[in-house]
Amino acid sequence: MKKIQLRQDDIEEKGGLKSITFTLFKDDSPLWRIRFKSLHEGIESLFNPHLAQFGKMCYEMKGTGFTCPICNSEIDELGLCNCGTGSA
C-alpha cells in the first residue's frame, strides 16, 4: 500500500494578505506543490483554480500582443493561449 500525505509547508502574511503552501507526497517523495493566496477574501483562492495556480485573477493577466497561429487567440504573459500551443 502506497503512503500519500499532504503537508502544509508554510504560511506567509504580507500587508494583510495570506499565502499558504501545501505539498503532496507519495512514498516520501514530493509529487505536487500548490500555493493558495488570498486577495480579498481568505477563502476566495480555494474556489478559484486560476487564482490558486497563477496567483491572480484571469482578468488581471496581460497580453503580449502576439497571436497563436493555431487558435488565433492572444498569447498571455505566461506564454499561454486558448489551445495550449502558444507556449511551444
Residue 72 main-chain phi, psi, to 5 deg: 60, 30
Shared-domain flag, residues 52 and 63: no
Q: What is the number of domains present in the chain? A: 2
Shared-domain flag, residues 24 and 51: yes
The x, y and z cell numbers of residue 12, run together, are: 506567509
Q: What is the pLDDT of residue 1?
A: 60
Confidence of residue 21 (pLDDT cuts 50, 70, 90): confident
For residue range 24-55, list pLDDT tens digits in order.
888 888 888 888 777 655 556 566 777 777 77
Shared-domain flag, residues 50 and 31: yes
pLDDT at 70 over 70: yes
Question: Can you give the pTM of this predicted structure?
Answer: 0.42
β-pairing, 74-76 vs 17-26, is unpaired
Domain membership of residue 85 as a residue range: 59-88
Q: Once rounded to an integer, what is the mean pLDDT over residues 5-18?
A: 81
